[in-house]
Amino acid sequence: MRTLDAAIWLTLTAIHLAVIVRAILLEDRDSYARAAWVLLLVLLPGIGTVLYLLFGERWISNAFRKRARECYTVLLPYAPQTGACDVSPESASAFRTCEAASRWPTTSGNTGQVASGPDAAITAIVADINAATRTVNLSFYIWLSDHNGTKVVDAVCRAARRGVTCRIVADAIGSRALIRSLHWKTMREAGAHLCASLPVPFGLGFLAGHRTDLRNHRKIVVVDGATTWCGSQNCADPAFLPKRKFAPWVDILIRYQGPIARQAEVIFASAWMAETGEDMRPVLSAEVPNPSPSGFSAIAVGTGPLSPQATMTDIFVAVLAAARERVVITTPYFAPDPPLLNAIVAAARRGVRLTIIFPQRNDSRIVGAISRAYYPVLARAGAHIHEFRGGLLHAKTLVVDGTLALVGSANMDRRSLDLNFENNVVFESRALVAEVAAHQSRWLAQSVEVDHGGVAARSLPRRLLDNLLTMAAPLF
């Protein structure tokens, strides 16, 4: 018996040491994340080893990885191949960074309009679906069976019954209640094609699948290949019943028309093709939407665990680097990696008036605490920190100098930067940026500024806790 116990102990020790060595040797990771995982493994040998095996790497099966990359490569030629766009010298690097990430050029001749609110956005999306004649492609992380959710379900059913090809993607975890409901069955019976994205494999099946917490966080709507929506809003009411105590959820959605709609459709189509096997090349053979003579330059970018490490960080950093006078950021979840944090701090230090708005009450207590742990760093750099009191500010916006903006699904946390599939749009347009800035101003009016003096006068226990939280940030 003692011999058996010793053998088990030696085996577990060998596994633990092997995991530590792997965590150190893994190349596709920054040094801060590596140090955080090694520290966790040393302090919590058994639990740390299990946590690392489950969540330590953004692992996804080689078969899915190969299939997804092949699908994206096959569909790349169908993206608009426009010539040089008229962007300002200050913004040029941001667009080049997005072009490198997406592997297609910036488009020109786009038009856009910000929805006045979450309910208005759903009403307008339903109107677009009602007017569809060819295709409706929808992808949401969370789709609820509430008022707004069922409005979209009904619109999809009407479109499918009149012969419009409807492709519906809902994340298998975020939208699990809808997927198990009669609404999902009703859409299927109406003729819609459905995909529960990234299903969680049971038992040992996960070894051939992907991390359970690796999710499809995208919010994409493309109608007839000519109109697309992008932003932070899920297909749900602002009351957001699963987490009603944080309501209302405050979001933003932008409706675009022009060549950028094709880019969004390629992002959707490549993921659909990888998960369902349907060849999407015939769908994308339709003419690219005509550019508007008075339109603006924009580029849609899809990122995720199949992207090179830090791709989303690179995009955020490049947009921030364009700032000369002012930056306004809204994000509900803030646990940045060092390059992103350094870019924000550097902007404030070089004299840019940098304002960042967080929700005062966060549905994720851990990430909310981590966000506040960064307040001293931001305050010392001169950033103006505000906390929104009118609900949960869920909008992800970054506006630079009144001309350049990034709006989409990505938060400034490790999940969006490294793990989740995200979609964002970067655009240069004084008119559309002014619409986004107007929303930011309204959110700012419902916020309270954090006192820098109070942040600086933290007690010793609070400093200890904050520093521990920032050390743990790479794990979240």
Confidence of residue 217 (pLDDT cuts 50, 70, 90): very high
Same domain, 292 and 378: no
In a domain, 306, yes or no: no
Of the listed ranges 35-39, 245-249, 351-355, the least confidently predicted one is 35-39
Structure letter (DSSP) for residue 367: H
Same domain, 282 and 318: no
What length is written for the chain?
Answer: 476
Instruction: Please report, as a single letter, which amino acid is at residue 266.
Output: V
Same domain, 340 and 449: yes
Domain count, the chain: 3
Same domain, 427 and 443: yes
pTM above 0.75, yes or no: yes
CATH code, domain carrying 353: 3.30.870.10
Q: Are 23 and 56 in contact (CB under 8 A)?
A: yes
Confidence of residue 204 (pLDDT cuts 50, 70, 90): very low
Same domain, 272 and 348: no
Same domain, 396 and 292: no
Mean pLDDT across the stretch 385-401?
97
Q: What is the overall mean pLDDT for the chain?
A: 90
Same domain, 86 and 179: yes
pLDDT digits (tens, 9 = 90+) for 346-371: 999 999 999 999 999 998 888 888 88
Same domain, 357 and 466: yes
Q: How many CB atoms lie within 10 A of CB 398?
A: 26
In a domain, 333, yes or no: yes
Full domain range(s) for residue 358? 311-475
Instruction: Give pLDDT, residue 2.
Output: 62
Confidence of residue 378 (pLDDT cuts 50, 70, 90): very high
